[in-house]
Structure 1
């Protein structure tokens, strides 16, 4: 990464009685210490965003860190740099903030606690810091007591607070309505631990009655428990709720140590929330000197047919497997195993023909017969293939086609077992030309009693990520803790699931507004492996026993490659379904996965989002619009295009009959010559949207016969 300029200066004039202004003066932070109790408040353009809110900790078997403080020192500074991500929504990111460091000492105990505030032009980040000291070395957190006192009963886009999963549909309601809606919002999952009628997860998206958009989240979650928020419906005060460990404790600390950052992004424009880089900027620069091995990936995979029930991960139907003892060579195949040589070769051929760089194969390794829901420790070894999966042959066949296979490591929640095999598994990948892995954590965690979002598992995910880097392996972690911008520091974290993705479309469906909310919530922390591209929406066509449907039109499936940002993008459907719609499939082949510039042309959480993105290193643009369950008209212009260049726009839109329930395959494709003066008014069907590829043409004769938009 290249810093273009950095300024670090002491600015005493910024601090006026512990007041801090953002660089553009739009935001104002007030820190107060009243009768020894610390608090903060935040305003935007004179409008309160966060009213006076408490800070501090309850500790286990020690006096709390909530009161009896005095200010030892305060320091203010400003920082301004521009850095270049390895991959991202833009090729350069400005990191500009003013900072206030408040150094506190608890007078009765002489313990030290600092609070560092960073105020950006679009919001706030703050964290607790425990310097090296004699009076507070080892301590255990009972609860972090950070508050976010809101100014009213805001509209909220939320999912239930849960220690094990984020795989819920979003509920839109007033804050006061959350307790009454919680039972309905908690839907079944393979592993879940909802903890409160008032608990919700971050990133939490809010909208005030005055039209101000607010987002609350965290950044740089390392060696700490994931935060949730408890809503007080009477006062509209949100209070932090950390994920406990098996003993009910919230965090084990040793000074010197910092907590993750708590973030508040705010704007009068919804698109500004989507374009904020606060989460990334609060993380450290990349930890790797060499990042040349980290590349964005567009892939297909042997996956969707198992998700739908058409095929099986398991090779046999035996009820019990013991690794190293079960004789798979002489076992009777069930005839439904998808990860077999011929099928994988078919996917490799399809990837090579259509320009995909990798093929994911799930169910290749022994142990799938009894992996689910058994709380089984020694469940997979991540090394031993089934008899019908020839690792060496398929490795060489893929290489001959210019394609790599993508590894799959399902842990079944047994993180201890994964660590047992991790070095051997990553070496196995390196030996067989795999450079990326999709890991999974379905089910309850082993060690038993730990949860997906507690400090123990947060440490595990970090260990797996850094260990993978030793072998130059990129990681796409499913069922892991939701991201908090760590991809800046560890850019081999090229994807996460950590939310309700496309697979749920085969389990009963996501609501049509789901993809109009996720960019405002889950994607605030980092990219999601949402696995779009489903063209056959009727699951009975794959499995007569599966009555589910995908709540989308084909046009919206194309749009998701633009609106659901990820440097790791899957064409998730079966090759034969793409071959039935090669004209629409062309957009998936063309769309970029790494960007120079990203713009939000329209946005309203829960209703619609329209993005325009410029492909890195080219003058080509791609536009995507995802729509909720209502018919809407999108109105955009093309003023972002260069005036001196000629472009052809190919529009993949819903046709007049399209509807996510009655005619999901109703689409049309139109071509136009476009300039910066062009405008588009486009109907979007219920559950629909559109996608546009805008390609620069060097020879103006290529636009002959095309109408100007």
Structure 2
């Protein structure tokens, strides 16, 4: 049930008092509902400044705000305060699908209206929100009769951190977009970086800088100016302009999630709360699920994406995979390479041409779909654009219409290439608008979407629940053909990239030594860790990525049991880059699931089971690293045990180096 509490009379009084005080002292303060986080705003020599504190700890010292527009037009100074309004808001809303069914959205808001003291009297509105799990602000340039288009050349927002700290980051403006290993350094040593940027301050606070509700605006990167000062660096168009709009604009929310423990960041829903409510209702075609696919066989070289002797996408192969999917009780299958246009050069940076309606030789999509229906298996559509959006936009309606005609309800859309149309960044305003357009277009054809090589997530799944998941990070595929992902990578991702939203990591490779793959290539972790990822890595669609024959092992039972939709999520213990233990409750039963992972260090962790129903008894079905197992010693060995437990109990977990534990708590 939706619960809203708005306090207009009291807030009107607060607004009057706050405004009177501010005009005298030029200082405004906004506190979160619990009083733990505070934002202070003032004009310093007519320039807007803000600061942030958490309890008695100063987090952000006075920092710059505003813009530089075309022709060096300074829109960051010569302001006066025209109006200030304070409001409070409290609701509990339900996700169509998610890591938690009911989410509380409770904040205090302060809206400051500024006006420049010149003949034009241009206005700028700054909206601040304070939550108990963080703070946010955004800029609104109201419609005020501006005759010419607005060109933002620079956003001057800075984040002057009070303290040094450890930062986990990936570089921006690189060929592989977001697909890099995270570096860990002091703040003053970071490069220009993508968000989410995660920092552990010297005083121990856990901070995540990101953005929310990114619409018709450039995405944010952060550049280290000097010392511990970070500055917003909007991703530009090819001509250097950052944002171009007609007469008004609203920036994304600049977000700062604040936690006292590492797990607090994962349990924060601030990014979702800053997005607009659901505009789609509860469409029947949007469902969380697990799926199989031919993808891993292509990445390890068993099959090719293109036509030829080792062609993966054939009608015969598809039927084999459909038979396996049906036998294992799953209902979705992804076959890449089904369409014309795949060549050995498809991934190179040029305007590659794909058809989105014509089948590749040896593949008949209508026969495959019909065979799948007979077996209760639905095909997942796939569009690889090669970042040639000129070609894709000409065919998008025809491609989506074909899927609707065939009864396909999900499409994976890829964008391999360093730039869109070999010209624009994936994460500039052009890319932002493109990805939002495709999402809305997909809804017209009753299609849910998951993106590869996308713009980063900023929470739009709340508004458009057909936005299922996206890649936007270095995922499992790098283990197939590169030096692989080091053990700490998988215990950094939940505290960085995954704070923005669901990730398509494609877990579930049980043959971690990749015996049928390229010589010397392997996963730097254990099989038990791959099982744990289905709980520690959140996505409403989870691939079972391995070859079908590699699932003929007892540990596979956990992957059959684990769901993809949850009613609750809790982090039991965590340290960024070290280890993580997460529990989630199944949306459709009373069962709980646990995933625990570590980096290269073996660990012993004691887990309280107080999250369980205190009145119930459970069977703990435990899948753990076998004795002596770690990344390099018998990594596929999984010890499977069962025991009866209650909420008053605790469990001792042993994780081998680069290992993990996965547990199903089945309510008896």
The interval holding the TM-score normalised by the smaller chain is: over 0.9
Match of 1:220 among 208, 213, 222: 213
User: Aligned with 1:421: secondary structure?
Assistant: helix
Does residue 1:307 correspond to 2:296, yes or no? Answer: no
Aligned equivalents of 1:177, 1:66: Cα separation in 2: 28
Match of 2:501 among 502, 505, 526: 526
Correspondence for 1:73: 83
Alignment of 1:178-577 (within 5 A): 178=190, 198-232=191-225, 234-315=226-307, 334-369=308-343, 371-377=345-351, 379-506=353-480, 507-539=482-514, 541-543=515-517, 545-577=518-550
In the TM superposition, what whole-angstrom CA distance separates every residue of 1:608-639 from its partner, at most 9, and x where no partner exists? 11101000132100000111110111211111
Residues 338 and 365 in structure 2, CA contact (< 8 A), matched pair in contact too: no
Correspondence for 2:179: 167
Correspondence for 1:119: 130
Residues 371 and 379 in structure 1, CA contact (< 8 A), matched pair in contact too: no
Aligned equivalents of 1:384, 1:629: Cα separation in 2: 47
Give 1:646 deviation, angstroms.
2.0
Distance 1:290 1:86, change over 3 A: closer
In the TM superposition, what whole-angstrom CA distance separates every residue of 1:533-560 from its partner, at most 9, and x where no partner exists? 0111223x223x4421111100000000
Residues 96 and 282 in structure 2, CA contact (< 8 A), matched pair in contact too: no
Residues 647 and 694 in structure 1, CA contact (< 8 A), matched pair in contact too: yes
TM (norm. structure 2) is 0.96
CA RMSD of aligned residues (A): 1.5
Distance 1:8 1:483, change over 3 A: farther
Judge which range, 291-300 or 260-269, deviates more: 291-300
Give 1:352 deviation, angstroms.
1.2
Aligned equivalents of 1:345, 1:8: Cα separation in 2: 60
Residues 146 and 247 in structure 2, CA contact (< 8 A), matched pair in contact too: no
Give 1:136 deviation, angstroms.
6.9
Residues 375 and 446 in structure 1, CA contact (< 8 A), matched pair in contact too: no
Aligned equivalents of 2:220, 2:297: Cα separation in 1: 35
Correspondence for 1:623: 594
Aligned equivalents of 2:420, 2:432: Cα separation in 1: 14
Aligned equivalents of 2:543, 2:115: Cα separation in 1: 52
Does residue 1:601 correspond to 2:572, yes or no? Answer: yes
Residues 528 and 662 in structure 2, CA contact (< 8 A), matched pair in contact too: yes
Give 1:24 deviation, angstroms.
0.5
Give 1:375 deviation, angstroms.
4.7
User: Aligned with 1:369: secondary structure?
Assistant: coil
Give 1:434 deviation, angstroms.
1.1
Aligned equivalents of 1:373, 1:656: Cα separation in 2: 42
Residues 145 and 247 in structure 2, CA contact (< 8 A), matched pair in contact too: no
Aligned equivalents of 1:127, 1:434: Cα separation in 2: 38
Distance 1:631 1:674, change over 3 A: same
Aligned equivalents of 2:498, 2:437: Cα separation in 1: 23
User: Aligned with 1:168: secondary structure?
Assistant: coil
Aligned equivalents of 1:406, 1:668: Cα separation in 2: 34
Aligned equivalents of 2:310, 2:471: Cα separation in 1: 26
Correspondence for 1:7: 6
User: Aligned with 1:368: secondary structure?
Assistant: coil
Give 1:432 deviation, angstroms.
1.3
Aligned equivalents of 2:506, 2:282: Cα separation in 1: 29
In the TM superposition, what whole-angstrom CA distance separates every residue of 1:393-423 from its partner, at most 9, and x where no partner exists? 1111111111101111100111121111100
Aligned equivalents of 2:636, 2:281: Cα separation in 1: 47
Alignment of 1:119-158 (within 5 A): 119-135=130-146, 138-158=149-169
User: Aligned with 1:348: secondary structure?
Assistant: helix
Structure 1 residues not aligned, in runs of 5+: 179-197, 316-333, 698-709
Aligned equivalents of 1:383, 1:424: Cα separation in 2: 7
Aligned equivalents of 1:11, 1:653: Cα separation in 2: 58
Residues 98 and 118 in structure 1, CA contact (< 8 A), matched pair in contact too: yes
In the TM superposition, what whole-angstrom CA distance separates every residue of 1:483-502 from its partner, at most 9, and x where no partner exists? 00011011101010010010
Paired positions, count: 654
Give 1:447 deviation, angstroms.
3.1
Aligned equivalents of 2:331, 2:115: Cα separation in 1: 56
| 4+ long deviations beyond 4 Å | 373-376
Give 1:446 deviation, angstroms.
4.4
Does residue 1:40 correspond to 2:50, yes or no? Answer: yes
Aligned equivalents of 1:57, 1:462: Cα separation in 2: 25
Residues 420 and 426 in structure 2, CA contact (< 8 A), matched pair in contact too: no
Aligned equivalents of 1:362, 1:629: Cα separation in 2: 33
Does residue 1:664 correspond to 2:639, yes or no? Answer: no
Give 1:256 deviation, angstroms.
3.1
Give 1:45 deviation, angstroms.
0.7
Give 1:692 deviation, angstroms.
0.3
Correspondence for 1:322: none
Give 1:8 deviation, angstroms.
4.8
Correspondence for 1:632: 603
User: Aligned with 1:7: secondary structure?
Assistant: coil
Give 1:162 deviation, angstroms.
2.2
User: Aligned with 1:67: secondary structure?
Assistant: coil
In the TM superposition, what whole-angstrom CA distance separates every residue of 1:363-398 from its partner, at most 9, and x where no partner exists? 111111155255544611111112311212111111
Give 1:339 deviation, angstroms.
1.0
Give 1:110 deviation, angstroms.
0.8
